[in-house]
Chain A
């Protein structure tokens, strides 16, 4: 059984109950270089391993890019 969440506007299937940390690993993203917002609330980096994702969650994963 799987669940789906919306990540940066794209639908992604996840293993139910996976943590934010675990999900970033599956995306091959370095948790130190990104920030995560879940359902419009910031997930502090210190809680990446404690917060579990559930069906229907909306995530924004951002990082720094070149800008003026």
Chain B
């Protein structure tokens, strides 16, 4: 392999989360798909090594319903239990204690929501839950507001990844806050991922071009007309944005600058 080849080989580009190294910088959710077959095919096409999952009651009236673990093998793919749907610290902590018992792993995604309309994080409850969880040995990836001061505090508390929203959950509006995200990236000593807001492939590239360590998304893939194809688009967009970030973009100029040399014109 030539030096050039190895420089652009994505497999050399890894990131480390809570002591474990990953190649894929795309984390995908497993909600909103039409069935488990489509979920599994989309996860496969996305190349994701980590998937978020929810913790919910088993249907005791019909226990023979198919289960997610029958379609996505937790031994091959990292399950990241989340607390989506929790609006206070105590229910989030309770949910993740159950998740740890169900799966046997400590890596979790904490998300404590403020209200139904915006699904914006409730940061007071998030701090409260993070403190308890970290004390109990959980490795907490935290969904948070795009506030660099709050993020610094979460990192100092011991969160293993900071995950601000780029736009409201499920909105697909794209990265609305590049200034805040960039400030957060600059100061972060742990992985920083954009969690929520991506609508299409270019949005994922924008996040990666800002210098994020990764992107987490669900609806952008699951609600696409062809989720499996969109999953592949997102894989490429994340890789593409990452490469562009590493390559370093050209400076923006106010006026045109010809690409062909002016000397030797006939």
A12 nearest CB across to chain B (Å) = 7
* Contact mask for chain B residues 77-93; partner A; CB cutoff 8 A; 1 contact, 0 none: 00101101000000000
Give the interface SS of chain A, mostly helix, strand, loop or mixed. Answer: strand
* CB-defined contacts of A3 to chain B, threshold 8 Å: none
Contacts of B39 in A (CB 8 A): 66
Contact B53 A66 (CB under 8 A): yes
A63 touches which one: B67, B84, B170 (CB < 8 A)? B67
User: Which chain B residues lie closer than 8 Å to A8 at the CB level?
Assistant: 57-58, 60
A-B contacts counted at CB < 8 A amount to 104
Q: Contact between A64 and B31 (Cβ–Cβ < 8 Å)?
A: no
* Given A35-B101, A42-B101, A62-B102; A67-B31 close (CB under 8 Å): yes
Q: How far is the CA of A64 from the CA of B63 in the complex (A)?
A: 13
A33-B69, A62-B55, A64-B54 known; A12+B60 contact, CB < 8 A: yes
Task: Collect the chain B residues with CB atoms within 8 Å of residue A35's CB.
Answer: 55, 98-99, 101-102
Within 8 A of A (CB), among B164-188: 169-170
Does residue A7 face the partner (Cβ distance < 8 Å to B)? Answer: yes
A27 touches B56 (CB 8 A): no
Q: Which of A33, A42, A61, A65 contacts B60 (CB 8 A)?
A: A61
Which residues on the A side are within 8 Å of B243 (C-beta)? none
The distance in angstroms between the C-alpha atoms of A12 and B58, with both chains bound, is: 14
Q: How far is the CA of A9 from the CA of B250 in the complex (A)?
A: 60
Additional 5 contacts, C-beta under 8 A, given A10-B61, A45-B101: A29-B63, A66-B39, A67-B56, A67-B82, A67-B218
* Residues of chain A at the chain B interface (Cβ within 8 Å): 7-10, 12, 27-29, 33-37, 40, 42-45, 60-68
The residues of B with any CB-CB pair to A shorter than 8 Å are 29-33, 36, 39, 52-58, 60-61, 63-64, 67-69, 79, 81-82, 84, 94, 97-99, 101-103, 169-170, 218-219
